[in-house]
Amino acid sequence: MGAQSSVVILQSPGLAARRWAFVVGQLLLVLAVCLLSVSVLAQQKIVVLKGGKLLTVSHGVIENGVLVMFSGKITALGTPGSIAIPKGAQVIDVTGMTVYPGLIDSESYLGLTEISAEQSTNDLIEISDEIMPHMHVYDAFHAESELIPVARLNGVTNAIVAPHSQDTLPGQDSLVQLDGKSANDMLLVRDIALPLNFTGEQRRNESWEKRKFPQTRMGLAAQLRQAFVDAQDYADRWADYEKKRADATAKPDDKKGPPSPLKHDLKLEALLPYLQGKKPIVLAAQEPSDLETAVGLARNFNLKFVLNHISHSRPVLDYVASLKVPVIVGPIYEDPRNYERYDAVYSLPGELYKRGVKIAFASYDAHAVRNLPYAAGYATAFGLPHDEALKAITLNPAEIWGVADKLGSLDVGKTANVVVADGDPLDVRSDVKRVFIDGREVPMTSRQTELRDRYSGH
Amino acid sequence: MRRVTTLFSFTILGLMSLQVSAQQTAAPPSHNEVLIKNAVVMTVTRGNVQNGSVYIKNGKVAAVGKEVNAPSTATVIDAGGKYLTPGIIDSHSHIALDDDVNEATSPITPQMMMIDAFDYQDKAIYRGLAGGVTTSLLLHGSANMIGGQAVVIKHKYGASRDAMLFPGAPQSIKFASGENPKRVYGGKEQLPSTRMGNFAVQRAALVEAQDYMREWDDYNAKVKRGDKDAKAPKHDLKLEALADVLRGKLLVQIHCYRADELLTEMAMAKEFGYKVRAFHHALEAYKVADELAAQGVAIATFSDWWGYKQEAWDAIPWNAVLSMRKGVRVAIKSDSGDFARRLNQEAGKTMRYGGATEEEALKMITINPAWIIGVDDRVGSIEVGKDADLVIWDGYPLSSFGVPDKVLIDGDVYFDRALPGFGMPHYREGE
């Protein structure tokens, strides 16, 4: 499509180049717009946000800025003098408002639950076995969940959706966008990562009478090692099989003939991209002892990993920093252990940042996804710089999840996931006024606003 | 050697941070004269005083204003231009009860006294204190239609059990309705397993209490007439407690979610002649706020928690402000150890959802919950004669960024963020 190519040109780096590219881009835009049919034009208008304070995240703050969106992308942004407003564009005056990239939740359960206590509405976890890497969140993701509009009304536009954590390997996460016609539209990356949970809560220790394997951390670790060893063997068997098959094809007269067919094992197959380091494991631990066991296990198998939680690992933060991996932090409101100071978890993000660790916040919730920015805000009261807190719910997660070319900052060429609020995005007092996802302005309504309006006579 | 160093640095830090804390390391806490100056004093009931001072004498607020007359001997705390509020009051808590929150063996257990389970060493009291909470109402859980009688505490972590009890606080009793009782007993194939069953059980208990009162009235009348053969009825602690409900001696706190049940509970109260002090959770209060306002029933609700069960499905974050605008007295409460640690942030949300003013939002975590507990003449605002339960905040308290620097209870510093370890002048771990 013509419009797409103009956007590509607009991606060139450097301000002068960008400005020049914009002029060319504008010409191309006009051309493209002329070529488009009327119906497409109606859907894909140029939208300009004018007069707001742009928190780009990647390159500072632009006061009284202009941001142009077209065809689902940010096509230009800058100071008023540097950006020409395209003719025919829908110009929205956002003077006095803050404009920032859509927020990214690094672990949520959106689309897997509706009413927590109602089991029929939950698709959160398979507890029949601890090793379930062949469970895919996208198979259950409920695009029409009433929880999704509630989350995006507060500026959360993207989320990692993960299974609950009662299994060591509960299944694979998806990255979703919180608007779209269907699940197909909303699932940006279907299998993006595999959680490996080692917090002690995965033990099957209901009662002594009902005990079954794995009842201890030893059992869980042994089971995990066996799973990865099995997957390695499986990969080797298949490689051998493919080789023999290729040989047989190359030498059709060989008496041996083709090898006997192998059976597929979905569970082991699901582990292969992780064993090969193609995708990250999300390694969850809380206490230093569990953390070190889990990291040891990941290293045994050369797994690529990011850390998750580590809320009660204060004594080993230097060790954590030495691992040179990002950490998903939180929930920061979680109570500290009784032996810890009241702010042991609150101050963890700041302490990690000080040690050079890249952090991202997560809601670890479905109904409370909208409160993601407040967790980041609270961390600023305990030593995390404000800019870094915002980064930890935008650009950092985009980088951690490998989608920083599309999400996480206000930059030309990125997906137009843009939020407009009347104040600091991290403050509970700020009201989100507009949300754009893929350049489309989403209606500021949810089941909750409908109830509000019905009972307040709006 | 190491220990000597630790003790030494401890002393130095204590001296540097505050004279108050250095003096108070020795128990019991003394009610010295204290002057807090250079603060934005948010009185709650009488507006804000910029660059204000509060003079504390014998644990009470003795003066508030731009200039106050304090003796030169008073210990001075310079608030450094920060915000000063009354201590936060949590009107719905289950901390410090170990796991003894629900006596879930019968739907009617009004003779349960929460004080019997009060675990005054629970660190949750400390964590609430560090979040600015100075008073909490510790309630029975919601397994029973009529649960047990609450205990009111001050968060003086490190003090003795009895020193933590709020002196002279009225007695509250917890009722519950809806999903929890019917699930607990229905799960055991007992009555109640429906909302019909819930209210039938509650009504039957109150009727039994009425009969019990009549028996005693009858007996007392006979004694008064000089009837020597009159036989005293058996004392029954359960029915005594219910009789106290009917006599209006207990503040009735009702866990209730749905609008229809709010109406039914009010009708039941009218039928039996007692008053409902507050509905707790009350997530659908916004649907029947006019009726609640007309009856003078308060609500203790969440700011934005929802969807955790069916009866929380119609919860909306505008509930607090919509109800308040209709004339309902509204409190934001915790119902959990972790919400209690940031009730200020939760109250701040009401400024966004519905546009509560600063004073309205602050009231929801101070004077309004104090009224629900029945201690609003003692705490909940900064006024002369009230208990000197105060919080100095780093950052604006009704925001994401406000956290307590120091918390005073009855004029003593119980939490000081600048101190090492747990930050408590009156408490040392392992000593």
Are the Cβ atoms of B317 and A382 closer than 8 angstroms?
A: no
Q: In angstroms, rounded to a whole number, what is the distance separating the alpha carbons of residues A176 and A245?
A: 39
User: What are the pLDDT digits (tens) for A261-270?
Assistant: 999 999 999 9
Tokens of A33: 């717009």
Q: In angstroms, rounded to a whole number, what is the distance separating the alpha carbons of residues B415 and A309?
A: 28
pLDDT over threshold 90, residue B26 = no
Angle at B373 between CA B367 and CA B376, to 5 degrees: 35
Same domain, A160 and A193: yes
Same domain, A313 and A241: yes
pLDDT over threshold 60, residue B23 = no
pLDDT over 90, % of chain B: 91
Same domain, A421 and A353: no
B93 touches chain A (CB under 8 A): no
Same domain, A90 and A108: no
B188 touches chain A (CB under 8 A): no
pLDDT over threshold 50, residue A33 = no
Same domain, A339 and A254: yes
Amino acid B15: pLDDT:
36
Q: In angstroms, rounded to a whole number, what is the distance separating the alpha carbons of residues B246 and B239?
A: 10
Q: A150, A151, A147, A160: which is closest to A188 by C-alpha?
A: A160
**Beta strand pairing status for B133-138 and B151-154?**
antiparallel
Nearest CA to CA, how far is A385 from chain B (Å)? 12
A444 touches chain B (CB under 8 A): no
Residue A84 is classified by DSSP as P
Angle at B260 between CA B141 and CA B246, to 5 degrees: 60
Q: How many domains does chain B have?
A: 1
Tokens of A99: 């404009």
Give the CATH number for residue B239: 3.20.20.140
B322 touches chain A (CB under 8 A): yes
Name residue, tokens 């905040």: B393
Amino acid B21: pLDDT:
37
Q: Binning pLDDT at 50, 70 and 90, where does residue B32 land?
A: confident
Tell me the C-alpha to C-alpha distance, in Å, between residue A329 and each of A309, A338, A363, B244.
5, 20, 9, 50
Higher pLDDT, residue B26 or B332: B332
With a CB-CB cutoff of 8 Å, which residues 308-347 of chain A face chain B? Answer: 333-336, 338-339, 341-343
Nearest CA to CA, how far is A369 from chain B (Å)? 11
pLDDT over 70, % of chain B: 93
Q: B293, B277, B236: which is closest to B152 by C-alpha?
A: B277
User: What are the pLDDT digits (tens) for B72-110?
Assistant: 999 999 999 999 999 999 999 999 999 999 999 999 999
Give yes or no for a contact between B64 and B382, defined as CB atoms under 8 angstroms apart: yes
With a CB-CB cutoff of 8 Å, which residues 114-133 of chain B face chain A? Answer: 123-124, 126-127, 130-131
Tokens of A354: 């000080």
Q: B120, B35, B57, B126: which is closest to B392 by C-alpha?
A: B35
DSSP H or E segment with residue B89 = strand B88-93
What residues make up the domain containing B197?
88-380
Q: In angstroms, rounded to a whole number, what is the distance separating the alpha carbons of residues A374 and A377?
A: 5
Does the residue B29 lie in any domain? no
Angle at B169 between CA B166 and CA B171, to 5 degrees: 125
Quote ipTM for the complex. 0.91
Same domain, A312 and A433: no
Q: Which residues of A touch B424 (CB under 8 A)?
A: none
For an interface test with B, give the residue of A429, A431, A432 to mutate (most B CBs within 10 A).
A429
DSSP H or E segment with residue A437 = strand A432-437
Does the residue B257 lie in any domain? yes
Are the Cβ atoms of B352 and A368 closer than 8 angstroms?
A: no
Averaged pLDDT for residues B360-371: 98
For chain A, state the CA radius of gyration.
25
Does the residue B280 lie in any domain? yes
Q: Which residues of A touch B421 (CB under 8 A)?
A: 341
With a CB-CB cutoff of 8 Å, which residues 344-383 of chain B face chain A? Answer: 345, 348-349, 351-352
Out of A116, A334, A336, the one facing B308 most closely (by C-beta) is A116
Out of B130, B307, B398, the one facing A342 most closely (by C-beta) is B130
Same domain, A277 and A174: yes
Amino acid B430: pLDDT:
77
Q: How many domains does chain A have?
A: 2
From A430, which residue of chain B is nearest by alpha-carbon distance? B352
pLDDT over threshold 70, residue B316 = yes
Give the CATH number for residue A251: 3.20.20.140
Amino acid A39: pLDDT:
43
pLDDT over threshold 70, residue A306 = yes
User: What are the pLDDT digits (tens) for A179-234?
Assistant: 999 999 999 999 999 999 999 999 987 777 888 899 999 999 999 999 999 999 99
Q: Buried (b) or exposed (e) across A311-345, using 16+ Cβ within 10 A?
A: bbbbeebeebbebebbbbbbbbbbbbeeebbbbbb
Question: Hey, is B198 helix, strand or coil?
Answer: helix
What stretches of A251-394 show up as alpha helix (H) in DSSP? 266-275, 288-300, 317-322, 348-354, 372-380, 386-391
- Count Cα neighbours of A129 within 13 Å in the Cβ-side half-sphere: 10
Are the Cβ atoms of A428 and B352 closer than 8 angstroms?
A: yes
Beta-carbon contacts below 8 Å between A and B: 110
Are the Cβ atoms of A342 and B423 closer than 8 angstroms?
A: yes
Tokens of B20: 């108050």
Question: Hey, is B49 helix, strand or coil?
Answer: strand
Same domain, A252 and A381: yes
Q: Which residues of A touch B126 (CB under 8 A)?
A: 342
Amino acid A212: pLDDT:
87
Give yes or no for a contact between A199 and A284, defined as CB atoms under 8 angstroms apart: yes
Alpha-carbon torsion, ordered B257, B258, B260, B262, to 10 deg: 20
Are the Cβ atoms of A428 and B399 closer than 8 angstroms?
A: yes
Its pTM stands at 0.91
From A375, which residue of chain B is nearest by alpha-carbon distance? B400
Amino acid B319: pLDDT:
98
Give the CATH number for residue A58: 2.30.40.10
Instruction: List % helix, strand, coil for chain B (3-state, nearest 5).
Output: 35, 25, 40
Same domain, A301 and A348: yes
Please name every residue paired with A67 in a beta bridge, in sequence order, or none if there are none: A49, A77
Q: In angstroms, rounded to a whole number, what is the distance separating the alpha carbons of residues A220 and A142?
A: 31
Amino acid B411: pLDDT:
97
User: What are the pLDDT digits (tens) for A109-154?
Assistant: 999 999 999 999 999 999 999 999 999 999 999 999 999 999 999 9
Residue A365 is classified by DSSP as B
Nearest CA to CA, how far is B304 from chain A (Å)? 8
From B323, which residue of chain A is nearest by alpha-carbon distance? A456
Same domain, A173 and A283: yes
Amino acid A446: pLDDT:
98
Residues 6+ apart with CB under 8 A from A418: A49, A67, A69, A74, A99, A100, A101, A102, A410, A435, A436
Same domain, A400 and A452: no
A455 touches chain B (CB under 8 A): yes
Question: Hey, is A111 helix, strand or coil?
Answer: coil
Same domain, A325 and A229: yes
Amino acid A27: pLDDT:
52
pLDDT over threshold 70, residue B145 = yes
Nearest CA to CA, how far is A117 from chain B (Å)? 5
From B130, which residue of chain A is nearest by alpha-carbon distance? A342
DSSP H or E segment with residue A147 = helix A147-152
Out of B307, B349, B351, the one facing A116 most closely (by C-beta) is B307
Amino acid A311: pLDDT:
97
Are the Cβ atoms of A342 and B304 closer than 8 angstroms?
A: no
Instruction: List % helix, strand, coil for chain A (3-state, nearest 5).
Output: 35, 20, 45
User: What are the pLDDT digits (tens) for A359-388?
Assistant: 999 999 999 999 999 999 999 999 999 999
Quickly count helices (H) and strands (E) in chain A: 14, 16
Amino acid A409: pLDDT:
98
Amino acid B431: pLDDT:
67
Backbone angles phi, psi at B181, to 5 degrees: -60, -40
pLDDT over threshold 90, residue A29 = no
Distance of alpha carbon B227 from the chain centroid? 47
Q: Which residues of A touch B306 (CB under 8 A)?
A: 367, 448
What residues make up the domain containing A434?
1-102+408-458
Amino acid A25: pLDDT:
52
With a CB-CB cutoff of 8 Å, which residues 80-139 of chain A face chain B? Answer: 114-118
For chain B, state the CA radius of gyration.
23
Q: Which residues of A touch B345 (CB under 8 A)?
A: 374, 378, 428
Q: Which residues of B touch A377 (CB under 8 A)?
A: 399-401
Give yes or no for a contact between B262 and B185, defined as CB atoms under 8 angstroms apart: no
Q: In angstroms, rounded to a whole number, what is the distance separating the alpha carbons of residues A262 and A207?
A: 40
pLDDT over threshold 90, residue A20 = no
